[in-house]
Amino acid sequence: MQDSTPYAVGIDVGGTKTHLRAFAGDEDVVDHVRSSSGWRPHDPGAAADWLAALVAGALPSHVRPSALAVGGHACETPRQCAGIRAALQGRLGVPALVVGDAELLVPAAGWTRASDWSPVPVRSRWGGCPTALRSRSAAGRGASGTRARGRPRP
């Protein structure tokens, strides 16, 4: 018997790992992490099949999502994301939103808009990417009054 509770499902498909979380109201029902192996975002049908299989494998058998949001690695254009969304909605029969995974950065950091941050070069003690995100108010201006990327500040 299908559970009639509405379950919202969010999926972050990264370059190396995929994280699926499902919620029923405020309750975290599923928190599932797996490899992103097999993710093919340039083939909308294959991407939708991969996501549908992920949802089916991660959720309990009696649970069906009521809505799905996906941030997909290498989903680079609105047209590409729309193709995956249409194929995914056809397979699962629920409303879906598909965006590039880079669009998840701002909400994942707890911000509400992209203007709350700016990339600022810093030295990384972990040896990774030499750019970190800092609050816009802490970013400061150069001598010319421009941001790190050379655009004038508003």
Q: Which residue has the tokens 């800092």?
A: 134
Record the pTM.
0.71
pLDDT at 103: 86
Residue 93 clears pLDDT 90, i.e. is over it? yes
CA distance from start to end of the chain: 56
149 and 76 in a common domain: no
- The per-residue pLDDT of the chain, averaged, comes to 79
Residue 78 clears pLDDT 90, i.e. is over it? yes
86 and 15 in a common domain: yes
The answer to whether the beta carbons of residues 48 and 88 sit under 8 Å apart is yes
150 and 117 in a common domain: yes
- Convert the pLDDT of each residue in 111-138 to its tens digit: 776 566 555 444 434 344 433 444 444 4
Range of the domain at 78: 7-106
**Is the residue at 71 inside a domain?**
yes
Partners of residue 121 on adjacent β-strands:
131
Between β-strands 131-135 and 117-121, what pairing exists: parallel, antiparallel or unpaired?
Answer: antiparallel
> Which residues, 6+ apart, have CB-to-CB distance to 109 below 8 Å?
117, 133
Range name among 2-6, 83-87, 113-117, 132-136 with the lowest pLDDT average: 132-136
3-state secondary structure of 1: coil
**Is the residue at 1 inside a domain?**
no
Average pLDDT in the 98-102 region? Answer: 92
